[in-house]
Structures are given as structure tokens and as C-alpha cells.
Amino acid sequence: MASVTAPPISRHDAAKWIPLAVFLVALAVRVTFVLLHPRPLVSDELDYDQLGWTLATTGRLETDGHPTAYHMPGYPAFVAATYALFGRSLGALGIVQGVIDSVTAVLLTLLVPRTQPRAALGLGLTWAFLPAAVLFSSQMFTETVFVFGLVGLTVLLSRARTFSSSAACAVGAILGGLILIRPVAAILILVVPLLVPPRSARIRLLLISFACVPLVLWTVRNALVMHKFVLATFLGVNLLIANHPGATGSYSVQSVPRVNARGEAATDSASFQVAMHQIGKNPGDFLERGGRKLLLLLISEGELEVGHFSPKAHDTSARYLEKLRAVPAWLHLLVSLPTALVLILGSFGLATRAHDRTDTIFAALAIGTVVSVLFFIGSSRYRFPLMPFLALFSTEFLADARSRLAGVRPLRLVLACGFSLLVIVVWVVEFYLAHP
């Protein structure tokens, strides 16, 4: 009897299973965490829950029966859609966001060249198991949905060879939606049209127009129901919270001066004027606070850990470090060390990679984040949209570290080393203060 030999499985055939494998692993991790770790709502989650439920049941974005623009409408609309389908359940929302974040892990694999299936698998699994990504997907915050849209936008731009009118409309609509979730994405309007191939003025104009349509509609809505053309009514308030004489740099409403104004829009406008007066009067204090707030971008995932694991999370009288001390040191390290590795390796990956559309988007978003933190509130939470890019850069670097380091410019290597050293120093000091 003649023997039959099965054809070997090629690398290309194996690579076909990577997206499905990454999705299933990421989803299993997230669903398991949501089911095993139920938790009450805290901080902005309470606002998003109320806004989402009101929008789902009445069709209006209101707080206590009054129209509001204090939060951008993108994420409350997502929460409302989830509530309309599954009821008012944080668990259901966590599972839906788990599905979305698992798709994000798959989308990240598409940013890796098809000739590097192992790197694609490594990147997908990195996001699947990254503790920060898992924890954020179970919270009622904007991060998971925003990162999903951001990575999807990056995939469309990085893989495109030509750009049709319909593709330009889709990218513009995604960009407009991202801005309605987090205004920091507005900086991408200056960058994304320049990345579109072919470089047609008509295509670029179409993209910008579709990005602006949801913003115009939202602004018109505010003009009709709040009698003022504004994109949001939190900018002035948060500017004052971050820059009044007793400000710490993080979010705290203690000792914030009161403004004489009635109504949400008027209060925001008056707060903006008071804040700008304080900045102009004390520019040195503004710069000093700005430096401290930038350091908050580099601290560990302690804020995330406090929200999930600290028994003092709801104690408004306790300060951050006191709440973090209530988190076991081993848990603090388990959640935060993977982020530290991504930050450090990602900086070397960025320093040693060839310039392309992906790092242009990363650079624009990083600049927007830094400027936003300088003027407003500092938090490690605000670096999360940069993490998928840094995870990509980390994977690329580990896949070919020796040749990359051999060809890197010395200045870039020095900057990567300096950034890594700063991250290590900040984390060591924070860990010592939290767990002396």
C-alpha cells in the first residue's frame, strides 16, 4: 500500500489562524475578568451611566432634567446603545467592551507585515494579556471605545494604497466620531488628510468635511438647547480645576474658587476667564504644575488599580497614595510592570523604526496629549490611547533588536535611553512612596 504524506503546513496557512486565535484569547480573558470581578461604579462612570440611561430611555442627553454638554456625546451614545440592547448592566457593558477590545487586538496584528506572522501573534497576545487593556475594558470609561476607533483608523490609513471617495468618507466619519468621544483627537484633523493616498485635494476635502459634520451637528444642538455655540462645557471648568492657586495637577475640586454664573455654559465661560487670568498672573506656577502633570503621564497604573482593587477607592477623604497603599504590592507590580515594559521597549522601537504613517499618527496624538495635560488635568489614564502604538513599536523592536540598534542614530538612542531612565525613576519613587 502506498504511503500518503500530508503536505506541510506553510507559514502563510498558519498565519490565517492568528486573528481568530488572538480574538478568542483576548475575549476569554476579558469576559472571565468581568464575570469574576464585579465592581461598583466610581468617578466619571456614575455620570456616563446616568447619561447613557437617560439617552436610552428619553432620547435626550440631560442631567437632572437639564440639557448638558459637560461630557462629549460619543461615549454616552455608545453606553445608551448598549443599555437599549441589554439593559442597564455594567456587566453587559463590560462584555461588549471586551468584544470591542478583542477586535482591537486583532486590528493591531494587521499593522504588522504579513511576512512576520510571529510578530503579529506576539503583538496580538501582548494586547490580549496587557493588564491595563483588560481593566479599562471592564470600566465605564471612554478608553476602550476610543482606542478601538483609533487603531481602526490607523489600520485603514497604513494599509491603503489608493483612497476612494467612500473610503475618505468612512475615515472622516471615524475621525469625527473619535473627536466626539475625546476632543484630543481633534489634532488628527491636521494630520490625517495629509496621509491619504493619492494626494487629491478633493479626497482630502471630503475627508475633512465628513469629520466636521458630527461636530457641527453637535454644536448646533448645543446652540439650540443651551443657547450657546460650544463644543463642550467642561473645558473652562477643567482649566480652572487644573490651574487655580491650590491646584495639585490631578483632578480635585477642593478649594476651587466659585464663579458667579448661572447655567452650565455660562459657568464654563466664566471659569475659563478666571483660569486664564490665573495662568497669566502666575506663569511660573503654571509651568511648574505643567511639569508635574507631565510626570503623571509616566506613573504606574496605580490609578487604575485603585479603581478596581483598593478598598478605599470610594473614600473621598483619602489621597491617591493612601488608596494605592491599600492595594497589595504584588498586585501593583502584576498590573503595572507590563505597562513599564511596553513604555520602555516602545521608546526604543520608535527610535529605531523607519518613519511611516503609523508613527505620524502616534506623534500627533502624543503632542495633543502633552498639550492637553499641560493646560488641563494630568493622569496616567490619558496615556492609554498611546499604548497600542507603543505595543506595536515594542514588538517590532524585539523582532529585530540587534540590527535596529546597529543602524540607529546616536541621538535617537540617547533620547530613548533618557526616556526609559525617567520612567524607571518615576516608577521607583512612586512604588517607594506607596509601599515603603
The pLDDT assigned to 436 comes to 78
- How far apart, in whole angstroms, are the C-alpha atoms of residue 197 and residue 398? 30
* Cβ pair 267, 259 in contact under 8 A: yes
The pLDDT assigned to 98 comes to 96
Q: According to the per-residue pLDDT averaged within each range, which of 40-49, 185-194, 247-256 is highest?
A: 185-194
Buried b (16+ CB within 10 A) or exposed e, 411-425: eeeeebeebbeebee
The pLDDT assigned to 228 comes to 84
The pLDDT assigned to 1 comes to 38
Distances from the Cα of 373 to the Cα of 202, 368, 377, angstroms: 35, 9, 5
* Residue 332 exposed, middle or buried by CB count within 10 Å (0-12, 13-18, 19+): buried
Q: At what angle do helices 283-296 and 264-281 cross, to 10 degrees?
A: 110
Of 205, 202, 120, 206, residue with least CA distance to 155 = 120
H or E segment and range at residue 67:
strand 66-67
Who contacts 182 (Cβ-Cβ below 8 Å, separation ≥6)? 72, 74, 142, 146, 385
pLDDT, one tens digit per residue, over 328-360 is 999 999 999 999 999 999 999 999 998 889 999
Using a pLDDT cut of 70, give the percent of the chain over it: 94
* Cβ pair 272, 236 in contact under 8 A: yes
- Residue 9 above 90 pLDDT? no
Average pLDDT over residues 164-184: 91
Of 306, 179, 307, residue with least CA distance to 231 = 179
pTM of the model: 0.91
* Cβ pair 70, 62 in contact under 8 A: no
Give 3's pLDDT tier (boundaries 50, 70, 90).
very low
Q: In this structure, what C-alpha cell is assigned to residue 368?
A: 495633543
Give 4's pLDDT tier (boundaries 50, 70, 90).
very low
Question: What are φ and ψ of residue 62, in 5° steps?
Answer: -140, 155
User: What letter represents residue 17's amino acid?
Assistant: W
Give 62's pLDDT tier (boundaries 50, 70, 90).
confident
pLDDT, one tens digit per residue, over 113-157 is 888 888 899 999 999 999 999 999 999 999 999 999 999 999 999
The pLDDT assigned to 257 comes to 67
Using a pLDDT cut of 90, give the percent of the chain over it: 51
Of 181, 210, 175, 207, residue with least CA distance to 194 = 207
Position with higher pLDDT, 23 vs 62: 23
Give 254's pLDDT tier (boundaries 50, 70, 90).
low
